[in-house]
Structure 1
Amino acid sequence: MKGLVAAINPHAKRSVTLRGLIGSLWRNKQLVWQMTKREVVGRYKGSAMGLAWSFFNPIVMLAVYTYVFSEIFKTRWVGSGADESRTQFALILFVGMIVQGLFAEVFNKSPGLIISNVNYVKKVVFPLEVLPVITLGAALFHSFISFVVLLVAFFVFTGSIHWTGIFIPVVIFPLIILILGFSWFLASLGVFARDIGQFTAIITTILTFLSPVFYPVSAVPEGFRPFMMANPLTFIIEQSREVLIWGHLPDWSGLALYTLAATAFAWAGFAWFQKTRKGFADVL
């Protein structure tokens, strides 16, 4: 990684502006790319199948969902219409699991990012703010593979793929921004409060069952729907199904508002991280 780390003064005042955030990511883009590749490859290092596991895992999970929900539970998606096949239920469920998995992977890893990279804090001048970006990049790689598996399965089961699927990057983008905000907050908090890691595992479990992963929003009693919609995963899961499963255009105004709110939150997370990073070395 020699030559990729920026030579900066560790005691210099850190920029907390949105321009500073974008500038940092741009300056360190090569570092992020190299370390993301290392993160992805390192996960399968030493295994016989290597990167093939990234394809094998979602295929197995989709096969399990299809068998369990089509042959055992014989479940149907409420309000999806009479022409829904039981295998389509597995595809609908898989979309929710991919979105939830992307969020959960980064959310759960974030509290330990700085703790597990103490050498970057103490021994070298390293842009610590890119660590959440690297973790997110690795999670996005696996989510991309899962979406490819989903589209192939959708074509096999239905004989076609909706053209609106091209909008899935646009749908996922605001969630990516939001996840970064959470990651910067949690990476910093994890240094000063080690119990945060246990807390995030509980939160992701709660969010999974309070998200429309296993059931549609229409199945939730009217009085509880505002709480469901307050869940940051709900809107993205619903929009992902709209473009991938139902072939509808995304809610552009909703995505625009979500992106603005996510950007503000990510900026706040970045500012918090930059303000608190001076204390990392003392605590660690």
Structure 2
Amino acid sequence: MSPPKNVTAINPHAKRVVDFRELIGSVWRNKQLIWQMTKREVVGRYKGSVMGLAWSFFNPVVMLVVYTYVFSEIFKSRWAGAGAEDSKTQFAVILFVGMIVQGLFAEVFNKSPGLIVSNVNYVKKVVFPLEVLPVIIMGAALFHGLVSFVVLLVAFFIFNGFVHWTAIFMPVVILPLIILILGFSWFLASLGVFARDIGQFTVIVTTILTFLSPVFYPVSAVPEAFRPFMMATPLTFIIEQSREVLIWGHLPDWKGLVLYMLVATFFAWAGFAWFQKTRKGFADVL
């Protein structure tokens, strides 16, 4: 990204505030900047392509069609707990829920280590709130997740003839994960400046989490002795709750969401504090 014109140079070693109020305040003060740069991030992904933003809709449609064909016609897959009559096509929809949540996590998690390294001018030459960069990539990831979510609801309606009213709770279910991912993103964005190979590590982590989380199988398929370890992963609870409100039509686990939110908020503040404490060293390394 090229820096804006007519900006004032800053002292990259200046001390930064790390309390939770500053986290919220920075996002609020820079909401217009975040909005504009998020739009640029989304549009820039498809710049030069013939279909443009239409790809954001076309991609999840193709993937859902592939899942439906492969798992219903080739693998003859069934999902534990689903009715025999429904499970032939429902398996693909259930699987797609997990892929949406995993995709949101993976996109931000894998991009975070290179955020500062790829925006050196923002560190040394311009007045720019570096702490909003993770929020910007999160906004772009949420846009693509929202498109996939719409595709999912349309497919569910086509397969079943209705959509559960509990789908309105999906934003509440996904919010704690968003906050948790932002905490990881601030931490990784800072760490990526000092350890450039951290990006390779995050790809490995997201791959492992994909198979340790119930993306392709239900939690009930895991031996009871290993379930506590599985539930400790950041994706498992959110994927399960997403399926509860979208697929099964159940209310979310409010107590579990509150607990997850508390943990996520702590990690968000810790990641933000780490970022603010270490950012004064960015200019020396870059």
TM-score if structure 1 supplies the norm length?
0.97
Q: Which position in structure 2 is the counterpart of 1:225? A: 227
Q: Which position in structure 2 is the counterpart of 1:283? A: 285
Q: Which position in structure 1 is the counterpart of 2:101? A: 99
In structure 2, what is the Cα distance between the partners aligned to 1:255 and 1:4?
Answer: 45
Q: Which position in structure 2 is the counterpart of 1:149? A: 151
Matches within 5 A, 1:1-284: 2=4, 10-284=12-286
**What is the CA deviation profile of residues 57-93 of structure 1, one whole-angstrom value per residue up to 9, with x for unaligned ones?**
0000000000000110000002223342311100000
- What is the identity, as a one-letter code, of the residue corresponding to 1:131? L
In structure 2, what is the Cα distance between the partners aligned to 1:60 and 1:81?
Answer: 25
In structure 1, what is the Cα distance between the partners aligned to 2:149 and 2:274?
Answer: 33
| Unpaired segments ≥5 residues, structure 1 | none
Shift of 1:108: 0.3
- What is the identity, as a one-letter code, of the residue corresponding to 1:193? A
In structure 1, what is the Cα distance between the partners aligned to 2:104 and 2:263?
Answer: 19
| RMSD across aligned positions (CA) | 1.6
**What is the CA deviation profile of residues 252-284 of structure 1, one whole-angstrom value per residue up to 9, with x for unaligned ones?**
110011001000000000000000000001001
Task: Give the number of equivalent residue pairs.
Answer: 284
Kept after mapping to 1: 8 A contact 2:56/2:147: yes
In structure 2, what is the Cα distance between the partners aligned to 1:270 and 1:56?
Answer: 35
Shift of 1:3: 8.9
Percentage identity across aligned positions?
85
Shift of 1:137: 0.4
The verdict on how the C-alpha distance between 1:32 and 1:203 changes in structure 2, with shifts beyond 3 A counting, is: same
TM-score if structure 2 supplies the norm length?
0.96
Shift of 1:5: 7.8
- What is the identity, as a one-letter code, of the residue corresponding to 2:60? P
The verdict on how the C-alpha distance between 1:157 and 1:50 changes in structure 2, with shifts beyond 3 A counting, is: same
In structure 1, what is the Cα distance between the partners aligned to 2:203 and 2:9?
Answer: 36
Moved over 2 A (4+): 1-13, 79-85
Shift of 1:125: 1.6
In structure 1, what is the Cα distance between the partners aligned to 2:65 and 2:187?
Answer: 36
Shift of 1:11: 4.4
